[in-house]
Amino acid sequence: MTSHSPFTLSPLTSDYRERVYAAVLGKLIGVYCGRPFECWPHEQILKELGEIRSYVHERRGLPLVVTDDDISGTWLFLRALEDLGPLPADLTGPALVERVSGLVAARWLNDVVPGRSTFWWGGVGVSTEHTAYENLRAGLRPPESGSIARNGAVTAEQIGAQIFIDGWGLVAPGDPGLAASLARAAACVSHDGAAVHASMVLAAMLAAAFQERDVNRLLEIGLAEIPADSAIRRLADDVRNWHAQHSDWYAARAALEAAYGPERYPGVHILPNHGVVLLSLLYADGDFDRGLTVACTAGWDTDCNAGNVACLLGLRGGLEGIANTWREPVADRAYISSADGRRSITDAVRLSTEIVDHAQRLRGLPPSRVKGGAPFHFEMPGSRQGFTAEPATARLSNLAGAGRNGARALAIDLPAGVPVAVTTPVFAPPDALNIGYQLQSCPALYAGQMLRIDVLAPDGNATHVLASPLIRVYDAQGELQELSGPEMVVLPGAGSRLSWALPELDGQPVEAVGLRAKSAVDARLLVDRVWWEGAPRASLIRGTAGGALWLRAWIDGVDALEATPEAPLVLRQTSGRGVALQGGPGWDDLIVSADLALQGRCGGLVVRATGLRRYVAFELEGDTVRLVHVHDGARHVLDEAEGAQPPGERFRMSVRVAGTAISAALNDRLWFDHPDLLAGLPAEGMVGLFIAEGRLEAHALRVDPAV
């Protein structure tokens, strides 16, 4: 039960980072394994696919790595801990639940693009998350937003709270009570009753699994966090009895369906699916493969259940328990569809780094900066971080003892005389554009930024390797084109840094980043880290005719975002405020300029945005200009002046942000210039446009360094 005493945080152990990585990998693998036949009946799975012992996406003609609510919601809502900071020493369980539930609710409204990202938007009263989101938008707070009293038992006790819950256990290693309280806080935003209890049980089990391996003992630890007379406790007792009675899991599954099947609990209810999770863990007895087989073959919400099972088994057994046949096809890849498009295209290494940073933040410790904070550093055993090689005859592997700045590197085995391209996505790849849940994302890398890649060649190479940085870009027709930077010679036993300032791309998004390498003989090249730095010099809209795939680089937080014959980018909003955002990580000191036309109440430029409801705006309304800070729906006017050009005509806006300073000009007249106005606000963020009740045309939009 929720503690009324302050929490004492356990120290982070030396293997914590690697075990979190194994848990994240497990979650991804489980979801991807079960996704192609989600909600199929058990009998149909056996008839058409047989017992699930491997990925089946190719048999169904589907990509393996897709956008999915199980993945997006799980890691997205955990970012509420960025707003909590260090865990207050005097915060008891009930106070923690109230505090964190409010932070998670705020993240829902800020980070979820309504109708487009993160969830299944199946309608109020049908989709639990859609229902809760509309409650939050109407001003309700948790736990009322997810309560049975407000939404009804059928809606409030669906599976969502459980599928989003893994991270809360991972940030509380060895502290199951804390994990259960965090899970309860997050779950009550959208769910109630048995759904909240199930999430508390699993979160506590995950937290305890850092120290305890026995599954029955883990289950007892989890159940101790919920009422003894709860439906989840009764379900757990039944599942344990069936496990004791039947050596064959099929018989136990039949008993589960008879007692708790969808005929008794309609929709995608928590009780039958939580039963599958417990049954899978008990029959797996720690075996990762066995747990996946049971969770996927049993039916009902197969990707959700397999994700929870594989996350706990990955954590419990570590990387050595996850076979390469599961890891290789995934190559760590993941998509988090949200309004923070800078972090949408990601991987298991970066997700686990976020989780470690959350845990360190709770303890008042600084964030991780592995290899100087490079997004691609390959420091986890076996990690690939999405990198693949073309042609496939060039083998990739993660090599220990090979890094220049750390312990590991990505090894590329080059066939003699064959040019090899090694790349990873930094924006939506073609097979992610229209499969699964809608992917809201921005490119991570833009024109004008400096791409850097540290490489080295082993002493054993017989000759030099030629290497050059490369990017893939969507062209005007939506096809991928490769662009290469300067080529360098990498001698045996030597290291080199590939550097390239990306050229102007006319608003077309960078889809992938990497390098091209070749050697006259069989050779090996080691990639130590990949990163980029500096502000972009880039157009964010196309200046020439062509296809509209570049629009997918925008976070679409308006009623309509489109390219028209009248203007290359148009925003329309019927009521309230809408924003369209774009930008990569680390966008801090820069100038945003645009040629605009406004037919509406209010519109303008956005800078330092970290979501739909957190940004600074330079806005024009009638003959008034303002600098406004928007935070979680509240508007704070930082400065304003009258006498500006009224809307309805073309005008030019520009905003410069550098550190805490901001200046803003309209039609080349400087209206605001403040050296410290942004003190206490985010030091970096996305840029874009906003419109309030009307139409905003953008005829040009650029971002440049604030020099």
Average pLDDT score over the chain: 95
Tell me: pLDDT of 555 over 90: yes
- Range of lowest pLDDT (159-173, 487-501, 642-656): 642-656
- Torsion (CA) 482, 488, 489, 495 in degrees, nearest 10: -110
pLDDT at 368: 87
Contact between residue 699 and residue 650 where contact means Cβ atoms under 8 Å apart: yes
Q: How confident is the model at residue 462 (pLDDT cuts 50, 70, 90)?
A: very high
Identify the CA nearest to 697 among candidates 590, 541, 588. Answer: 541
Max alpha carbon distance in the chain (Å)? 81
Tell me: pLDDT of 92 over 60: yes
Record the pTM.
0.96
631-649 residue pLDDT tens: 998 999 999 999 887 666 8
Domains of the chain (ranges, CATH numbers): 18-335 (1.10.4080.10), 369-533 (2.60.120.260), 554-705 (2.60.120.560)
Contact between residue 606 and residue 616 where contact means Cβ atoms under 8 Å apart: yes
Interatomic CA distance for residues 128 and 501, integer angstroms? 46
Q: What percent of the chain has pLDDT over 70?
A: 98
What is the rounded average pLDDT of the residues 69-94?
93
* Side-chain-side CA neighbours of residue 26 (13 Å): 35
Interatomic CA distance for residues 155 and 159, integer angstroms? 9
291-338 residue pLDDT tens: 999 999 999 999 999 999 999 999 999 999 999 999 999 999 999 999
Q: How confident is the model at residue 546 (pLDDT cuts 50, 70, 90)?
A: low
